[in-house]
């Protein structure tokens, strides 16, 4: 019997994926075959049409991995759902390809979930590449959070907004109930998947794990952050490849969440504010470019912001 199905969606990050897979072979879990006192895992990699020899690397170095190659970039959300449908484990573990498991993080999460059957989703204590803490536990966002998050206004946000949203008033090493955890490393009870379905594919990338946690909590499950289960996350290496699409996906997904759970009026208000902020950024960068200050960089930013405005950030539910 498979205890945990580890689902990894890969797109052109071969070297990072190699490190991730190597970290799963650290002796703290049994891969595909039972071994005394160790949780049994299977590793499923959904490859989104990579062109960097990721497939060959997996076949050469990790023959125990179940490889599901796709002919196109299916995205994080759809890719995970493809993996869920093939998974055999009692738990589903979403894991980014740019992460590395530290020591016994997986058994730690597994044994906690076995002990607390009312917990539906659990997340890890995540470190940056340099070993500093990466905030991955959250409270659900308010409209004020949505206005400041990932816009140029974030620099001017009152500390209380960031503190509340990112739970900076709690201990990084604690074990505590939260609203949601980031999907870079997230263990989910199979019953949650079977009851609620998979990730909402209306989100191409970003906010999909927040939505899943929201649905789980609304259905009565607890969501927990485990400060003693450690991973390293070399953040955003796949999404860094997509330029303006990163802004478009992030804000469209955020707006979709607000429309879905806070209503059309809140969604429309937030959408107008975000589009105005991008308009102001574009005008400001254009003026600086005309004045000759870092002209090439300013021109590139103007192009990115113009693409965002042309998209319109319309979110359907």
Model confidence pLDDT, tens digit, residues 207-257: 999 999 999 999 999 999 999 999 999 975 554 445 678 889 999 999 999
C-alpha 189/C-alpha 195 separation (Å) is 10
DSSP calls for 1-53: --SEEEEEEESS-HHHHHHHHHHHTSSSSEESS-BTTB-EEEEEEEEES--SS
CA dihedral 91, 92, 98, 101 (to 10 degrees): 0
Q: Per-residue pLDDT tens for 178-193?
A: 999 999 999 999 999 9
Sign of the CA dihedral with 34 first, then 38, 40, and 41 last: negative
pTM passes above 0.75: yes
- Pairwise CA distance, residues 157 & 152, whole Å: 10
- Report the alpha-carbon distance of residue 311 to residue 197 in Å, rounded: 29
By DSSP bridging, strand 4-10 and strand 91-95 are parallel
């Amino acid at each position: 019997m498979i205890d945990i199905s580890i689902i990894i969606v890969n797109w052109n990050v071969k070297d990072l994926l190699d490190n991730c897979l190597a970290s799963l072979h650290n002796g703290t879990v049994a891969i595909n075959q039972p071994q005394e006192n160790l949780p049994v895992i299977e590793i499923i990699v959904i490859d989104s049409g990579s062109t960097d020899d990721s497939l060959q690397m997996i076949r050469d170095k990790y023959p125990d991995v179940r490889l599901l190659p796709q002919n196109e970039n299916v995205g994080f959300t759809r890719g995970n759902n493809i993996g869920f449908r093939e998974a055999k484990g009692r738990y589903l573990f979403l894991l980014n390809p740019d992460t590395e498991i530290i020591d016994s993080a997986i058994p730690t999460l597994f044994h906690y979930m076995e002990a607390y059957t009312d917990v539906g989703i659990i997340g890890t204590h995540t470190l940056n590449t340099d070993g500093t803490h990466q905030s991955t536990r959250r409270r659900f966002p308010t409209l004020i959070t949505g206005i400041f998050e990932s816009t140029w206004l974030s620099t001017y946000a009152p500390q209380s907004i960031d503190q509340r949203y990112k739970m900076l008033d709690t201990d990084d090493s604690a074990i505590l109930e939260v609203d949601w955890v980031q999907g870079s490393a997230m263990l989910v009870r199979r019953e949650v998947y079977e009851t609620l379905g998979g990730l909402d594919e209306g989100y191409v990338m970003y906010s999909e794990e927040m939505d899943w946690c929201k649905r789980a909590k609304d259905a009565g499950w607890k969501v927990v952050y485990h400060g003693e289960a450690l991973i390293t996350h070399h953040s955003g290496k796949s999404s860094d490849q997509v330029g303006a699409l990163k802004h478009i996906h992030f804000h469209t997904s955020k707006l979709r969440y607000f429309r879905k759970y806070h209503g059309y009026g809140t969604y429309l208000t937030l959408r107008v504010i975000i589009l105005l902020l991008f308009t102001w950024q574009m005008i400001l960068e254009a003026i600086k470019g005309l004045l000759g200050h870092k002209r090439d960089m300013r021109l590139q930013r103007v192009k990115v912001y113009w693409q965002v405005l042309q998209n319109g950030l319309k979110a359907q539910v």
